[in-house]
Amino acid sequence: MKLNKEQQEKLISKLNQVWKNKICDVCSTNNWMIDDTLFEIREFHGGKTVLGSGAIKPLITLTCAGCGNTKFMNAIQLGLVDPKNPDGEIKEGGQDE
Instruction: State the residues that interact with Zn ion by CB under 5 A.
Output: 24, 26-27, 64, 66-67, 69
Judged by beta carbon, residue 29 or residue 77, the one nearer Zn ion is 29
Indicate the residue among 26 and 56 with the shorter CB distance to Zn ion: 26
Three-state secondary structure call for residue 57:
strand
Cβ-contact 34, 55 below 8 angstroms: no
Q: How far is the CB of 20 from Zn ion (least distance, A)?
A: 17
φ, ψ of residue 7 in degrees (nearest 5): -65, -40
Question: Is 56:38 a contact under the CB 8 Å cutoff?
Answer: no
Nearer to Zn ion, 62 or 78 (CB): 62
